[in-house]
Amino acid sequence: MAREAGGEPARTADIFDPSAGQVQRRVALGGKAELDQAMQAALAAQPAWAATNPQRRARVMFRYKELIEANMQNLAELLASEHGKVVADAKGDIQRGLEVIEFCCGIPHALKGEYTTGAGPGIDIYTMRLPLGICAGITPFNFPAMIPMWMFGPAIATGNAFILKPSERDPSVPVRLAELMSEAGLPDGILQVLHGDKEMVDAILDHPDIKAVSFVGSSDIAHYVYSRGTAAGKRVQAMGGAKNHGIVMPDADLDQTVNDLCGAAFGSAGERCMALPVVVPVGEDTAERLKAKLIPAIEALRVGVSSDPDAHYGPVITAAHKQKIEGYIQMGVDEGAELLIDGRGFKLQGHGDGFFVGPTLFDRVTTEMTTYKEEIFGPVLQIVRAKTFDEAVELPSAHQYGNGVAIFTRNGNAAREFASRVNVGMVGINVPIPVPVAYHSFGGWKRSGFGDHNQHGMEGVRFWTKVKTVTARWPDGGFDLPRGSEDGGPARLGDSFVIPTMG
């Protein structure tokens, strides 16, 4: 780490306690020199790890799973203290990442290639799925456990070494995750955590020995990472922002829908790329009935510190982000949306300096409004009314983002048609946050995702590996095969079947 005179790091970033609004620690920021040092260790360690058979690599994953489970409470409390999400949400963050590790325990099966006997006269063809070498992941603040495990789990299980650059806002859990991987038996140099900002990101994107980069963050930065990384000859998957819609049909179970919306829109203070910040009731009657149920449900939400077991959600990540969210709320008012519940100026007793934003609800939001077009990334729910089913399908389909979408209905035909027609990468049917399980894949469309491969599942295996295809023909020679005795009787092993010595 670059240091000033006196031994202090040259550059640092503050890590806040969002509930208190105070700096609790600092992280030293690195750059190219730190990356070069880490790359030396990775390059030295990766060949032996790649040569380790997949079953032995899987055993490390099994042990890692056990260690994560044993440390779940401590990890969740550490995560909540830096991010601000409540401990229950923090455990969910860890659990969804752990599910990818569970998938990686079966990596020997996932790495099996294809085989064709007799593709031509005496010719067989088979494929081998091999690691790329050194890979990297650049992860966001909002899921400091899940997204790193989404990336380094499959990358390491398939035989790569991995450089993780977590968010500098809440880096302690990623460090702890790497320490536990070492305890699980992973060789030194295979998983390394480097802290930094744009300087470190650019160093990763430019380094010639890094073969693949995975990124999750805002769409503008995702596009930058994808463009710069691919220009440097790397394989890149870059997941961006979102503006997910929830379509509410007239026949929806409104009690269940409202419960789902409150969790999906306000859970984790809305700081999720799979949050549901837009609800689209179909028909005026549906809109009025939905609004009548939403208002009291939202007003009943409890905002608290991250350690409050009764809180529905906690503070947002920084004071700057709090200010940005409240700026969007004012923008919505200025644009003419109807503000039904205003979360600005929320103060939690005893925690007046915390980065809290109260739950906010807008009605009569239109597609021309900036607050509809852009991702707010906070506890703000917008109602956009649709007259017809076709209009409801068109809203998420035409939006610049295409991460997730949900429909709430009892009508199977409507749900089936919606899932088929909507121009979005992940669809939920009466499921408000349709994040697929670990053995399927995660990925959005349009400005929500750049690159040809999704996260985790077999898509993840394909992203972190390359395929070698072997076409083999073995000519006659070396020794004669027993074909039968001259008198037509059965051949004896000693007649002509001579196994040559291996000299």
Whether 210 has a pLDDT exceeding 90, the answer reads yes
Whether 8 has a pLDDT exceeding 90, the answer reads no
pTM: 0.91
**What percentage of the chain's residues is helix, strand, coil (to nearest 5)?**
40, 20, 40
Whether 164 has a pLDDT exceeding 50, the answer reads yes
Regarding the domain delimited by 12-240+452-467, which CATH topology (the fold level of the hierarchy) does it fall under? Aldehyde Dehydrogenase; Chain A, domain 1 (3.40.605)
For 459, the 3-state DSSP assignment is: helix
CATH architecture assigned to 245-446: 3-Layer(aba) Sandwich (3.40)
Q: Are 359 and 379 in contact (CB under 8 A)?
A: yes
Question: Mean pLDDT over residues 391-413, rounded?
Answer: 97
Whether 17 has a pLDDT exceeding 90, the answer reads yes
Q: Are 136 and 204 in contact (CB under 8 A)?
A: yes
Q: For residue 115, what are the β-bridge partners?
A: 126
CA gap 441, 77 in Å, rounded: 28
At residue 475 the predicted structure's pLDDT band, cuts being 50, 70 and 90, is confident
User: How do the domains of the chain map onto residue ranges?
Assistant: 12-240+452-467, 245-446
Active-site annotation, residues = 273
Question: Mean pLDDT over residues 464-472, rounded?
Answer: 97
Q: Is the dihedral of CA 149, 155, 157, 159 positive or negative?
A: negative
Encoded tokens for 334:
């200025």
**Beta strands 380-383 and 123-131: pairing type?**
unpaired
Q: For residue 137, what are the β-bridge partners?
A: 164, 214
Encoded tokens for 80:
């909540």
Question: Mean pLDDT over residues 389-408, rounded?
Answer: 97
Question: Which 3-state string (H, E, C) describes 298-365?
Answer: HHCCCECCCCCCCCCECCCCCHHHHHHHHHHHHHHHHHCCEEEECCCCCCECCECCCCCCCCEEEECC
How far CA 450 is from CA of 82, 230, 393, 445, in Å, comes to 29, 11, 23, 8
How confident is the model over 426-458, as pLDDT tens digits? 999 999 999 999 889 999 999 999 998 999 899
Closest by Cα among 270, 244, 260 to 360: 270
Q: Residue 147 CA to chain centroid, in angstroms?
A: 4
